[in-house]
Amino acid sequence: MKTWLNKSALSKGAVTALASISIFTLAACSGGTAPTASDGAAGSATDAITVYNAQHDTLTQAWADAFTKETGIKVTLRQGDDSELSNQIVQEGAKSPADVFLTENSPAMTQVENAGLFADTSAKIQEQVPAEYRPSTNKWTGIAARSTVFAYDKTKLTEAQLPKSIMDLADPAWKGRWAASPSGADFQAIVSAMLELKGEAATLSWLESMKENSKAYKGNSTAMKAVNAGEVEGAVIYHYYWFGDQAKTGENSKNVALEYFKSQDPGAFVSISGGGVLASSKHQDNAQKFLEFITGKAGQTVLQTGTSFEYPVASDVAPNAKLTPLSELQAPKIDPAKLNSAKVTELMTQAGLL
């Protein structure tokens, strides 16, 4: 489902007058409420930057509002999902109106990088972001991180009954008992990690078992709700859907607990959300400034204190205290540049999941 938003078209109010709209729905990610629009007090239209945003809209809106408040530079968001926007950028090439591209997962960044469309990130960005959270090419940078989890029905499963590895879900014993959102970029990033760690044959075989064993839902929130409602016993999703729901009413997660696979398992994959400046951007300085802001103390603190429950990756900002620290997740070490989204789509199509 497309969720395009040209925020500048909505920006008419005063600084504090936030206009909200309610016509948007999110398919792959239920990041929360509808986007808001706001104007900075300073900055002219020619300074404004356009961000193609595949991150959760509420998170990027919080970053954009804080950035505009600090710099006066206006930010226009265009909302879509990872591959939708990366395909769009590649198709638009040098004519793309995008100054910055933000994603939920890195395969879409790699696609744009491989098309030669990113400028180098600034020295400040490279200074703020540890090497493990950005590609060595420095054509984009990590801006946040998220962990794969098995969200399970704690009223039905004991810890001893949980799969030890995501690979175990291929076992016929799990038939009809677990769920995922195979059409979403989040799940496809997890598969890309499996492909990198286990190879093509093992991944295809796992995907074929998944087609047999699992129930497909549209969106991670929907998959988690299905667990909570007792439709399935577990779901492979990212961690923040559970924390986000718990922070609200908990009504969609009250029966749900999280298992972190750890042990460098493919199911312990920590996905890096990316940000990059388009080489064709006419606002290079402001675009770099926006990424510097996001990866700086203020931007990363939005992750710590806001409602996204994603992990900060830069400027030594600690995660929200409710989260298990990244350092304890025993995630597999994977070079984000090696995540191959095209091959994932091919294998998932072959397995009948797409």
Q: Which residues sit at the interface with Fe ion, rule CB under 5 A?
A: 29, 186
283 is in an annotated binding site: no
Helix (H, G, I), strand (E, B) or coil at 227: helix
311 is in an annotated binding site: no
- The bridge status of strand 256-259 relative to strand 141-153 is antiparallel
Element (H, E) at 247: helix 240-247
| Alpha carbon distances (Å) from 233 to 6, 39, 157, 158, 180 | 40, 45, 7, 11, 11
* Closest separation in Å from C-beta 78 to Fe ion: 18
User: Which is nearer to Fe ion, 157 or 189 (by Cβ)?
Assistant: 189
CA–CA separation, 61 and 57 (whole Å): 6
User: Which is nearer to Fe ion, 2 or 95 (by Cβ)?
Assistant: 2
User: Which is nearer to Fe ion, 29 or 235 (by Cβ)?
Assistant: 29
Tokens of 286: 């402001």
* Closest separation in Å from C-beta 220 to Fe ion: 6
* Closest separation in Å from C-beta 285 to Fe ion: 30
Is residue 265 a contact partner of residue 190, using CB atoms and an 8 Å limit? no
92 is in an annotated binding site: no
User: Which is nearer to Fe ion, 37 or 237 (by Cβ)?
Assistant: 237
* Closest separation in Å from C-beta 217 to Fe ion: 13
Cα-to-chain-centroid distance, residue 303: 13
* Closest separation in Å from C-beta 9 to Fe ion: 25
Helix (H, G, I), strand (E, B) or coil at 98: coil
* Closest separation in Å from C-beta 186 to Fe ion: 5
User: Which is nearer to Fe ion, 30 or 110 (by Cβ)?
Assistant: 30
Is residue 144 a contact partner of residue 308, using CB atoms and an 8 Å limit? yes
User: Which is nearer to Fe ion, 29 or 119 (by Cβ)?
Assistant: 29
Cα–Cα nearest to 273, from 186, 180, 150: 186
* Closest separation in Å from C-beta 316 to Fe ion: 25
User: Which is nearer to Fe ion, 30 or 111 (by Cβ)?
Assistant: 30
Q: What is the DSSP string of 269-320?
A: PEEEEEEEEBTT-S-HHHHHHHHHHHHSHHHHHHHHHSS--PBP-STTPPPP
Is residue 54 a contact partner of residue 185, using CB atoms and an 8 Å limit? yes
Count H helices and E strands in the chain, helices first: 11, 11
345 φ/ψ angles, rounded to the nearest 5 degrees: -60, -40
For Fe ion, which residue has the nearest CB?
A: 29
Element (H, E) at 49: strand 49-53
* Closest separation in Å from C-beta 347 to Fe ion: 21
User: Which is nearer to Fe ion, 29 or 117 (by Cβ)?
Assistant: 29
Binding residues for Fe cation: 56, 104, 240-241
Binding residues: 56, 104, 240-241
